[in-house]
Structure 1
Amino acid sequence: MPLPFNFPDLASLDLFRSVVELGSVSRAAEAHGIAQPSASSRIRTLEGRLGLRLLDRSPTGSRPTPDGQLISDWATELLRYADTLAAGVASLKAEQSGLLRLAASYTIAEYLLPPWLERFLADRPDDSVTLEVTNSRAVLDRLEAGAIDLGFVELPTVPVSLDQQAVATDELVPVVAPRHPWASRASVDLTELATTPMVLRERGSGTREALEALLTSVGLDAPQSALDLGSISAVRIAVINGSSPTVISRLAVADDIANGRLVELNVPGLQINRTLRAVWPRRSELSRLAAALLATLPTGA
């Protein structure tokens, strides 16, 4: 059955949904990058097409009418399918153009993926890769949105909606700069470490979540933060040049420990070994390039 001639366009429904979620036309207009008069005009056109009043407007904002709330709920479901369609089209276009879209957590992106991708592309002159570097939680969000073909994360667990392949193992180690008072100690108590402000990765990173999980498992509070940083390299440099400890991937600091720029601490009870994983949506078939890349990677569990 064909849609009626006055069926609203998806962009107007998306704008209306934003008005309902944000509580005002002006905030929705800003979120969509359009002028407020244009947004107001589009909402009035939408009401005209539907023959319904969708919003109660006031100087303090806009609230959906009962009919408007129903339309917003239905539009949300419709737009979810539209998002899936858009992501699928983008994936097909990327596949046809020989583009593999990846996102990876910082540890994997900085210390493992470069040689893997160099080998993978060595005999593929017509193919290319884009790589987004972000924290593990954001990688999962990108997968959910259909914006990437394959993700790499360092989380202790991944959602059941994802398939996974272990590609490496890693260990988190406590370190300080050589001038730190702990550097000369035979050992540091785990409670003392946990209650001392540390340089930490931002929330959502696999490194931070693994440390928090370990401390929680032995009845300790989450670590105190002296400084939150958005990359593993930034954490490493801050500890080398500062006065706070951290717990960090051995992959990132092995050379620093060997060369004396950092000192690994002996903290009884602090043992965090983790599996680094490639992940992709279980409901989706892997793209040709994603499957080919996975076939070249180690299966390190």
Structure 2
Amino acid sequence: MNLHHLSIFHAIAETGSISAAARRLHISQPALSRELKTFEERLNVPLFERVPRGMRLTQAGRVLHEHATRLFAIEHAAEAAIREIAEARSGRLTLGASNTIGTYVLPRILAGMRTQHPDIDITLFVGNTEQVSRGVVDLRFMLGFIEGPLHLEGLSAITFEEDELVPVVAKNDPLLARRRPTIEDIARQPLLMRERGSGTREVITTLLRERGIKESPRIMEFGNTEALKQAAIHGGGVAWLPRICMHAELRDGGLCELGLKSLHIRRPLKVLYRSSTQAAPLQRAFLERLQPGLGARI
């Protein structure tokens, strides 16, 4: 069935006359009459009775009008839904983030996003860099946020902020009694680390290797930053923790920095996206909340 003809039929049925339908559709009355005649001939059934005060639906016309009304209601709903997505007022936002960003950066942004856009659905997966990168490649996440190096092809990354990994110990750790602890002193201590596959673990291991120090066998592994931080507070050993996650602990003395600036690690916080795709309006709106101008770069 020709949708153009159906829209003409529906306009006549709704307005009750050829002239009013012509004005609504911005078509001349003779052209509209010809289109209606062609439509009725193709259906092989009359749709209207011509009466002195306009057009009256036949039985077939009433049946078709019911279906046409539902069809065009769906069309209007679809247009409204697409318009809401284009204006970032609805839709679904699926994100993956490595631990530091997912725990200490994004929740505040997501809460503000939900307040401004109450009709959107938001899902945030928090894992390690490898899991997040793979999720973006596999289309499970629209955007990914990582702190570690990017190793997968097909992805692009943009830095939106920087953080610092700082070696810290509990306030009563014996290392603090030494005036100038050496790298070797630290390497001999129990080390608290994230699991393998974590970007944080990778950059710390790389730093120690560059200083000629092999990874200590005395390592305790943790699946998230908060658990690692609690172990450090309770005297478990040396931990490299993101400064962004321990402002209160450093201020209150629960954790203390080790004085070796050469063991501090500056690292970029990056947003990942598939190189072959453009960000949708909802994704851009989220990125703009994260950092003004960031949405336009993807």
Q: Which range, TM-score by smaller chain?
A: 0.5 to 0.7
| Offset from partner CA, 1:147-193 (integer Å, 9 cap, x none) | 11000000134545212222211001111111210123333211222
Partner of 1:122: helix, strand, or coil?
Answer: helix
- Decide whether aligned partners of structure 1 residues 282 and 175 sit closer, same or farther in structure 2, where only a CA change above 3 A counts: same
- Decide whether aligned partners of structure 1 residues 137 and 239 sit closer, same or farther in structure 2, where only a CA change above 3 A counts: same
Q: Distance in 1 between matches of 2:271 and 2:103?
A: 15
> How big is the alpha-carbon RMSD for the aligned residues of Structure 1 and Structure 2?
2.3
List aligned pairs for 1:204-223, cutoff 5 A: 204-223=197-216
- Decide whether aligned partners of structure 1 residues 266 and 213 sit closer, same or farther in structure 2, where only a CA change above 3 A counts: same
- Decide whether aligned partners of structure 1 residues 182 and 233 sit closer, same or farther in structure 2, where only a CA change above 3 A counts: same
Residue 245 (structure 1) aligns with: 238
Unaligned runs of 5+ in 1: 1-91
List aligned pairs for 1:149-164, cutoff 5 A: 149-157=142-150, 159=152, 161-164=154-157
- Decide whether aligned partners of structure 1 residues 300 and 227 sit closer, same or farther in structure 2, where only a CA change above 3 A counts: farther
Q: Distance in 2 between matches of 1:299 and 1:161?
A: 25
Structure of higher CA gyration radius: 2
Residue 159 (structure 2) aligns with: 166
Partner of 2:161: helix, strand, or coil?
Answer: strand
* TM-score of the pair, normalised by structure 2: 0.65
Asked if 1 retains the 8 angstrom alpha-carbon contact of 2:133 and 2:150, the reply is no
Q: Distance in 1 between matches of 2:146 and 2:138?
A: 16
Asked if 2 retains the 8 angstrom alpha-carbon contact of 1:240 and 1:262, the reply is yes
Q: What count of residue pairs does the alignment treat as equivalent?
A: 208
Identity of aligned residues (%): 33
Q: Distance in 2 between matches of 1:235 and 1:186?
A: 26
* TM-score of the pair, normalised by structure 1: 0.64
| Offset from partner CA, 1:186-236 (integer Å, 9 cap, x none) | 332112222322111111111111111212223322344431000000000
Q: Distance in 2 between matches of 1:155 and 1:113?
A: 17
Unaligned runs of 5+ in 2: 1-81
2:226 equivalent to 1:226: no
2:123 equivalent to 1:130: yes
Partner of 1:104: helix, strand, or coil?
Answer: strand
Selected match of 1:258 from 251, 263, 280: 251
Q: Which amino acid aligns with 1:190?
A: I
Residue 283 (structure 2) aligns with: 290
Asked if 2 retains the 8 angstrom alpha-carbon contact of 1:200 and 1:229, the reply is yes
Asked if 2 retains the 8 angstrom alpha-carbon contact of 1:170 and 1:273, the reply is yes
2:104 equivalent to 1:114: no
Asked if 2 retains the 8 angstrom alpha-carbon contact of 1:196 and 1:224, the reply is no
Q: Distance in 1 between matches of 2:222 and 2:120?
A: 34
Residue 179 (structure 2) aligns with: 186
Per-residue deviation, 1:289:
1.6
